[in-house]
Structure 1
Amino acid sequence: MTDPAYPEIWRRRTARQSLLIWAGWFFLVALTAWCWQVMTRDTIWAFVSDAPIQAADIGSRMWPPRLSYMNQLWGPLWDTLNMATLGTILGVILAVPVAFLAARNTTPSALVLRPVALFIIVASRSINSLIWALLLVAIMGPGLLAGVIAIGLRSIGFIGKLLYEAIEEVDTAPVEAITATGASHAQLLDYAIVPQVLPAFWGITVFRWDINIRESAILGLVGAGGLGLKLQSSLNVLAWPQVTMILIVILATVIMSEWVSARVRRAII
């Protein structure tokens, strides 16, 4: 029984819980220190200490940008936009059926087709578009086609995941009402599910196109064409004013695509 002269002090956690929390923090700090040691094991710290001087030197060489080089960037810029657009269209064409197969409320087979569709989505999202482009360039040779397919394969996972989640979150009332009329599965999709998912579909597509413009701008580093190819060639010959001009063009393109996608999403949603 508690002594009235010495009332029991309230504690948020028991002594065991506090000990476990401190042990967890100690393990986290120790793990962080070990990871830092592994990551910096081969680091040459003399180069790191000299990095600000080297960065300032390269920055001085990059300015001012070579404005006359812009005449050689219009073609690669057009290729980059086409790569992003065609890759997005390819990704949408492949992702839509995968999304309907992955959604619990629309898949014909939850035991076979749904796991296959989910595997395709995960596999697409786990491999970066740069890696896809590297593999496709090795298989198909350099060119825009490899970049378009790489963008499309990468887009399947992004569009498919967001779209199948949107399909699973549709309002069930229209679905139940149309099902009660004896409608077929195709009619159920056409009249109850697709109209609810359509705004999300367009928003996801435009958002992915905006992302693909960023990614297609660097796929030329592995031979897929576009602005990245010009960037790689300028870096190889240390033409820093040209590199600055290319970076300005990429930045302006990304800003414009962000503005366009924001306006389209606002108009749709």
Structure 2
Amino acid sequence: MSKNETTPVWQHRTTGKRLAIWFAWLLLVALCVFCWQVMTKDTIWAFVSDAPRQAADLGGRMFPPRWSYIDKLWVPLWDTLNIATLGTMLGIIVAIPIAFLAASNTTPSRYFVRPVALFIIVASRSINSLIWALLLVSIIGPGLLSGIIAIGLRSIGFVAKLLYEAIEETDILQIEAVTATGASRAQILNYGIVPQIMPAFYGISVFRWDINIRESTILGLVGAGGIGVQLQASLNTLAWPQVTMIFVVILGTVVISEWVSARVRHAII
């Protein structure tokens, strides 16, 4: 190598790529600034600056919790657990056939049945359980039934999506082994696919039940029963110590359900 030649210097990116990355970051920052201006154009900053004092005042009213109020929460809490459990069961019952119809390796028609099943899954997952409850309260009236159906409708998309993905990920060799014996389509499902997806099915079901307990605690805000009804009544009367007690009960319930869910999933998987 002559003295006039220089050793090439390795660079992770070319100059053009570095400029493109910096330009992309500049656009992202500009977009964030624009979105911030749109979201805060109607904000009254005097209220924001006063928020810490208001929060401290509200916190002072909420403590200590009214422990005597807990006697009135056992029945609503039991209703909440029933809403979550029955709603989960309803969602699972409907989700199982939808999952098999949506899975590419079990659907009877990839061009008609599968798109319909996928649309049902997307529609269920797109609407929050609180919105389902609000609609159902308007249709069939307030009460536990509205909450159960709302939880069930919300659970369909969650369970069906994860379950059909588990079906599509089954080991094809086991399915081919069952098929080679001359088994019918129903026997292939029963002996080749179902045993492979059962651990995932149990885990998904328990996980969804755990989620539904949390979601069912607020359905009473729209009249769908459960402990949310007591929460709404306490908020309307500004009974902040009662609100704190309800929060404590909800927190304890969620912690216990999380522990039960984790133990069950660990035992299954």
Measured against the shorter chain, the TM-score band is: over 0.9
Q: Which residue of 1 aligns with 2:124?
A: 124
Q: TM-score, normalised by structure 1?
A: 0.98
Residues in 2 aligned to 1:65 and 1:143: alpha-carbon distance in whole angstroms? 27
Amino acid at match of 1:128: N
Cα offset, 1:4, TM superposition: 3.3
Residues in 1 aligned to 2:118 and 2:4: alpha-carbon distance in whole angstroms? 63
Q: Work out whether 1:234 is the aligned partner of 2:234.
A: yes
Amino acid at match of 1:242: Q
Residues in 2 aligned to 1:263 and 1:35: alpha-carbon distance in whole angstroms? 43
Matches within 5 A, 1:165-180: 165-180=165-180
1:158-177 residue CA offsets vs partner (Å, 9 max, x unmatched)? 00000000111111111001
Amino acid at match of 1:173: L
Describe the shift of the 1:160–1:3 C-alpha distance in structure 2 as closer, same or farther (beyond 3 A).
farther
What is the Cα-based RMSD across aligned positions, in Å? 1.3
Q: Which residue of 1 aligns with 2:205?
A: 205
1:108-151 residue CA offsets vs partner (Å, 9 max, x unmatched)? 11111111111111111111001111111111111111110000
Q: Which residue of 1 aligns with 2:163?
A: 163
Q: Which residue of 1 aligns with 2:189?
A: 189
Q: Which residue of 2 aligns with 1:259?
A: 259
Q: Work out whether 1:13 is the aligned partner of 2:26.
A: no
Q: Which residue of 2 aligns with 1:26?
A: 26
Cα offset, 1:12, TM superposition: 1.8
Q: Work out whether 1:57 is the aligned partner of 2:57.
A: yes
For structure 1, list consecutive stretches of 5 or more residues without a partner in the other structure: none
1:72-115 residue CA offsets vs partner (Å, 9 max, x unmatched)? 10110000000000000000000000000011111111111111
Amino acid at match of 2:48: V
Residues in 1 aligned to 2:55 and 2:243: alpha-carbon distance in whole angstroms? 14
For structure 2, list consecutive stretches of 5 or more residues without a partner in the other structure: none
Residues in 1 aligned to 2:9 and 2:163: alpha-carbon distance in whole angstroms? 53
Cα offset, 1:7, TM superposition: 3.6
Residues in 2 aligned to 1:220 and 1:99: alpha-carbon distance in whole angstroms? 30
Matches within 5 A, 1:129-168: 129-168=129-168
Residues in 2 aligned to 1:197 and 1:246: alpha-carbon distance in whole angstroms? 39
Amino acid at match of 1:19: L
Cα offset, 1:154, TM superposition: 0.3
Cα offset, 1:5, TM superposition: 4.8
Describe the shift of the 1:3–1:49 C-alpha distance in structure 2 as closer, same or farther (beyond 3 A).
farther
Residues in 2 aligned to 1:33 and 1:197: alpha-carbon distance in whole angstroms? 47
Q: Work out whether 1:92 is the aligned partner of 2:87.
A: no
Q: Which residue of 2 aligns with 1:43?
A: 43
Residues in 1 aligned to 2:236 and 2:31: alpha-carbon distance in whole angstroms? 39
Amino acid at match of 2:253: T
Cα offset, 1:3, TM superposition: 7.3
Identity %: 72
Cα offset, 1:226, TM superposition: 0.6
Cα offset, 1:13, TM superposition: 1.4
Residues in 2 aligned to 1:230 and 1:156: alpha-carbon distance in whole angstroms? 28
Residues in 2 aligned to 1:60 and 1:69: alpha-carbon distance in whole angstroms? 18
Amino acid at match of 1:129: S
